[in-house]
Amino acid sequence: MGMGNIKIISTNFLILAILAAGPAYAQDWVKPQIRNQQRVDLRDLGYPIVNEVPVNSSAVTSLLTAGNGNIYGCTSGEEAYLFLFDPLTNKVRHLGKIPGQAGVHHSLVEDKDGNIYFGTGKNMFEDMPMSKWGEGDDKFDITLWKDIKKYYSNYTGGHLYFYNPSLSNEHVKLSNMDCEVKDLGVPLANNSIYALTINPKGDELYGLTYPDGHFFVYNIVLNKYSDLGEVDSQKVYHGPERQWRTLPRSLICDGSGRVFMSGNKGMLKYYDPKAGKLVSTSIEIPGDYYYLQFYEDYTAVEYFAKDDHGLIYGGTTDGYLFSFDPENMRLKNLGKVRESRRLRCLAVGKDGKVYLMAGERSASRPCQFYAYNPQTGSYETLGLLVADRSPYYYWRGQQFDCMTTGLDGTIYLGESERKSHLFLYIP
C-alpha cells in the first residue's frame, strides 16, 4: 500500500520547494487537523540499518503500558518481534524476533511481578486463499468456513510466551536474533491466539482463539490451561473483511475479575471466575443491523479500554463507540464518528477523553484520529496522524491497530503497514 512518505530529500529540491510554497506547510495537501503539530511524533522500531525491525515484519498489532512506564509492543508480518519503548531514553529497542511466529494480535499483558506474556498466531493481514464462487457448496458462509478451516488445518497453533524483563531487557539484539522467551505451549491446536487479557490480581490469563472462537484460562501458578469452549456458536461474516469470521478482537476485565467480550447475536458475554463459566447477557452492542434481510449477521467488539473509575469503553467492527458500566450492567451507545466501518483501536487519556482510530483497512479509507469528550458528549476530529519534522523526516500514518496510554498521558499508537512506526501523540 503506497504511503507517499519521505525520509530523505534533496537539499536543492527542498530550497526550491520552500521558495515556491512560501509560508505553506510541508505536504500541506494532507491538511492535518491537530493544530499543535509538535505534539505528534514517531519512533523507528530500532536503529535504522543496525537493528531496526525489518520491513514486512513491522506492523504493530499489540501495545502495553507496563507498571514502570515502559511501553511494550509486538509486531506481525513475515516474522513477529517484541520491542520496548523506554520514555527515559526516548528510544525504541527491539527485544528480538519470536522464533517461528508471524503475528501477535491484541495479546500482550503484564503479570503482578512485572513479567510479560503474549500470544502468537497467524499474520491476520495475510490474504487467505478462497474458493471461487460456485465451487462446492452453494452457500457462501459454508464455503468460507471450509476455506478458513483448510487454511488453519496445517497450523499447529498459536503459542503463549513468557518474557522476563529483569533478565533480558538490557540485552542488545540485532535484527536476526531471537527473543529470550519461555514457551508455555499451545492453548488450542489449529488456532491463533486472537486476544489476551489478565485478571486484576495478575495471576490468571484469559484468551480467545481464532478461527474456532474458544475462550481459555491459563493459571500462571499451576501452569494449566482450561478450555471453556466457544464464545459464539454461530459463524457469521459481518465484515468489513468478509473472508474472516466475525469474532471479538479484544477482552477486558472489570474490577471484580469478570472478563467481558461479545458473543452470539452481538450480545455482551462475560466469564465469571467464581462460577468458572461463560455467562450470556441480553445487552446488545451497537452496530448496523438490517432486520429485514434474509440472512443473519451481527457486529463484534473490536477494541476495549477502561478509565480510572472502572467504566469500560468499547469499539465495534461497524465503527460505533459505546460505554459500559459493569457494576450496573448498563451500556450506552455513543455513536459513530464516520460512515466507513471499524473502530480500530482506542485508549482513555489522562484528561478523561477517549482517543480512537476509525477506518477500514484499505487505501481509499485510511484511519482517522478522533477524541470523544464524556463531559460534553461530543467528538473532535483530529484527522490523519502526520509526523512532520521536515527537512529531516515526514511521515503520515494511514493504518493503526492498537493504542495505549502512557503513565504521563502520552497516547502511543501502533502503525500497521509494511513499514511501521510507533506514533506518539501528546494531548
CA-based end-to-end distance of the chain = 29
Residue 100 neighbours by CB under 8 Å, 6+ apart: none
Helix, strand, coil tally for the chain in percent (to 5): 10, 40, 50
Question: Are 163 and 109 spatial neighbours (Cβ–Cβ below 8 Å)?
Answer: no
Question: Are 226 and 111 spatial neighbours (Cβ–Cβ below 8 Å)?
Answer: no
CATH architecture of 11-425: 7 Propeller (2.130)
Residue in 417, 424, 390, 420 with CA at minimum distance from that of residue 30: 390
As a whole number of angstroms, the distance between CA 356 and CA 385 comes to 12
- Count of alpha carbons within 13 Å of 16, Cβ hemisphere only? 5
For the chain, what's the residue count?
A: 427
pLDDT tens digits for range 6-55: 444 444 444 444 444 444 444 455 677 888 889 999 999 999 988 999 99
pLDDT tens digits for range 288-311: 987 666 567 899 999 999 999 999
As a whole number of angstroms, the distance between CA 320 and CA 268 comes to 15
Q: What angle do CA 222, 224, 226 make, to 5 degrees?
A: 135
Average pLDDT of 54-70?
97
What letter does residue 129 receive in the DSSP assignment?
A: P
As a whole number of angstroms, the distance between CA 106 and CA 403 comes to 10
Residue with cell 505528534: 40
Write out the E strands in 164-256: 182-183, 192-198, 204-210, 214-219, 224-230, 252-253
Question: Are 394 and 402 spatial neighbours (Cβ–Cβ below 8 Å)?
Answer: no
What pLDDT does residue 8 have? Answer: 43
Show the cell assigned to 13: 529540491
pLDDT tens digits for range 247-291: 999 999 999 999 999 999 999 999 999 999 999 999 999 999 876
Which range (31-35, 189-193, 341-345, 417-421) has the least confidence? 31-35
